[in-house]
Amino acid sequence: MQSPIALSTRDASPRAELQPLELLSFEIDPTEVTVRNDGHTVIYTFQWPNGQSIVARGGPLEGEFQLDSIHFHWGAASGRGAEHVIDERRREMEVHMVFYSRKYESFQQAKTQTDGLAVLAFIFTTSASAPKYGWIPALNEVQQAGASYTLPNPSVFNIQQLIGTSRRPYFCYRGSLTVAPYHETVNWVVHERELLISEDQLDMFRSLRAADGTFLRENHRPLQTSNDRTVFYYR
């Protein structure tokens, strides 16, 4: 049950939503955003006004899942970088919104539980008409592994503005974290609709350094065997 895997609109099992997949409070601006280069990826964490949090529910999810963090996977050149492949197409970058079940007190507690995690994934493709994301320049402050930085204007990372309000179509399957120790505790929700990013902005990710000082440019895991797992397709 390892991830990522190749996804196919033709081979996936169609399924209708009994309840729509929704994100609660994802339109609000955060009060604090911190970005950290951990040597493998960049991780954005958030604080929200009045102790609120972003919650995912509905669709294939059983119960409510609270946002823990957001991180990215990318490659050194076009046509590589995203972890999941959809209909034999690999794009340039993939963002993972990591949620943990509210049955548990934290991501650390939930990550080893079979029902503990949900990851909403969105795939980026390069385009000259991509928005200028106000949270990307912060990468200049975390060039070296271990560096962290708090954005001076947290409202530039509004999640609704990043991913939009449309959810379907998306794939769902049971899988794992794509970084060690690869716990098989993730309910994956991989959106088919692509997000846009410019080459200039993508180059800012490619300028980051790994723990050994080399450029961090291939932090995506190879495709794993599906092992006859059922992949659902919510149209």
- The pLDDT tens digits for 3-31 are 999 999 999 999 999 999 999 999 999 99
Q: Looking at residue 47, which CATH number applies to its domain?
A: 3.10.200.10
Cα-atom radius of gyration of the chain, to the nearest Å?
17
Q: pLDDT digits over 68-82, tens only?
A: 999 999 999 989 999
Give the integer Cα–Cα distance in Å for 77 and 74.
Answer: 9
For residue 146, the enclosing domain spans 6-234
Does 10 reside within a domain? yes
Question: Of 40, 71, 84, 96, which one is the catalytic site residue?
Answer: 40
Does 1 reside within a domain? no
Which residue has 């009060």 as its token pair?
31
Which residues, 6 or more positions from 199, have their beta carbon under 8 angstroms from its beta carbon? Answer: 78, 126
183 catalytic? Reply is no
Which residue has 């972890």 as its token pair?
83
Does 196 reside within a domain? yes
User: Distances from the Cα of 14 to the Cαs of 18, 94, 98, 121, 171, in angstroms?
Assistant: 13, 24, 24, 19, 9
Which residues, 6 or more positions from 132, have their beta carbon under 8 angstroms from its beta carbon? Answer: 198, 201
Give the integer Cα–Cα distance in Å for 141 and 148.
Answer: 7
Does 199 reside within a domain? yes
pTM over 0.95: yes
Secondary structure of 29-69 as H, E, C letters:
CCCEEEEEECCCCEEEEEECHHHCCCEEECCCCCCCEEEEE
Which residue(s) pair with 161 in the sheet? none
Give the integer Cα–Cα distance in Å for 202 and 75.
Answer: 9
Encoded tokens for 203: 């180059």
Does 139 reside within a domain? yes
Give the integer Cα–Cα distance in Å for 162 and 14.
Answer: 27
Q: What is the total count of domains within the chain?
A: 1
Low-confidence ranges of the chain (pLDDT < 50): none
Does 224 reside within a domain? yes
Does 221 reside within a domain? yes
